[in-house]
Amino acid sequence: MKLLDRYIFTESIQLLVIGSMTILGIFFGTAEFQTYMNMMNDFGFPFSVVLSVMFLQIPTGISFCLPAGVLFSTMFLLIRQQDDSEILALQVSGVSMRRIMAPYIMFGLVAALITFSLNEYVSPQTRLLSEKLSLIALYKTAKPFAGRFKLEQKDDKGNTSKIFCFGEELGRSVNGLLLIDLTEKNSVKVVWAKKGTWNKGSWCLSEGQNFEFFNATHQNRVARFGVLQYENPNLFKAIKAGPLSTLSKTTEQIRAEIASYQNKQQSPPADLLIQLYRRYSHPVSCVLLVLAATPVALMRARRSRSTAFVYAGIVIATYFVLQQICTSLAENSHLTPFLGSWLPSIVLCLFGLMVSLLISRR
């Protein structure tokens, strides 16, 4: 049986690479690729920087695609074994279905270990490096948001905090720049300049006016200036700071951030809890999805190949759909973060075991 185990393991690796790279190619060839192209156009990044950022995102993409790749490889290797009557020959020789599925379970465990290692030790570092690289490129760019005449900046709650309006572009400069600052609750600050030049992360404004409008208890203010340096402190802080998103944090850092919210008697954000639970649910799903593929090994009916392909397609598609639905429900407080992270793979695992039980009783 060691020969069978090596055969299944070797074939599974080949199919895993094909399945994961196919899913990763779709992942980067659609939404992600469009995002990076928009980044290049909006911020004026050189194409080499965009390629570097995309390359640094690959470990995150691989860890995201590995569970689906395991499901893909298990499904199609079982279908091929059924076509070649290998499973039937093993059962006639007295090999139980549990023993036949054992190499697949072991393969899922190895994939789970790889996924966890990528999520914990590789992806956070490469993701953080890509974020820093993007910020440094923004700091050095000739002018951000090239070709755009209006920009809205959001705060942590999603509310508009600042509005930029740009005039005609002249290299690094624009003829006319209007800034509306809405960060203060009781006042609105407006800065208008005849000319604005982007230089190392800040705007150098010349020949303009500074307006400050208060509520009824204060007097409005107007001031003229010859030259005004308008810096973006958030940009400098982000370049110097540590992890910028949950994907660029290790599990220990996520736990520490959750603990800081709890010490302040505050509820941690849902996306932070989801990311913590996914650090464990995502690797474990490599094993659970192998169990979801078990019915393919039991199909004996006529035209079982077409049925197996249909079942494989439904399970793979359902996995991605359930992930999106559960994540959305968890982020909007319609589902707990724990269930939002674990439910997709558990549902498919239970569904696969139930179908296997029904087929074996026929």
> Contact at 8 Å (CB) between 283 and 119?
yes
pLDDT value, residue 162 = 82
Tens of each residue's pLDDT in the chain, 362 residues: 577 677 777 877 777 777 777 666 666 655 556 666 666 666 667 777 777 877 888 888 888 888 888 888 888 888 888 877 788 788 888 888 888 888 889 989 999 999 999 888 888 888 888 877 877 777 777 666 666 677 777 766 667 878 888 887 777 788 888 888 888 777 888 888 888 887 776 778 888 888 888 766 666 778 888 888 876 655 555 555 555 677 778 888 899 989 998 898 888 888 889 989 999 998 999 999 999 988 888 876 555 667 777 887 788 888 888 988 998 899 888 899 999 999 999 999 999 889 888 887 76
Rg, Å, the chain Cα set: 27
- To the nearest whole number, what is the mean pLDDT of the chain? 80
Q: Residue 291: in which H helix or E strand, if any?
A: helix 270-292
Q: Which of 245, 86, 59 is nearest to 156 (CA)?
A: 245
pLDDT value, residue 23 = 66
Q: Which amino acid, one-letter code, is at 316?
A: I
> Contact at 8 Å (CB) between 311 and 304?
no
Instruction: Report d(CA 88, CA 97) in Å as an integer.
Output: 10
> Contact at 8 Å (CB) between 176 and 193?
yes
Instruction: Report d(CA 299, CA 39) in Å as an integer.
Output: 48
Chain Cα centroid distance, residue 114: 18
| Ranges of each domain in the chain | 2-140+250-360, 150-240
Instruction: Report d(CA 345, CA 290) in Å as an integer.
Output: 10
pLDDT value, residue 343 = 92
- What distances in angstroms separate CA 87 from CA 126, 146, 262, 288, 301, one per listed residue? 42, 61, 53, 21, 14
Instruction: Report d(CA 182, CA 85) in Å as an integer.
Output: 70
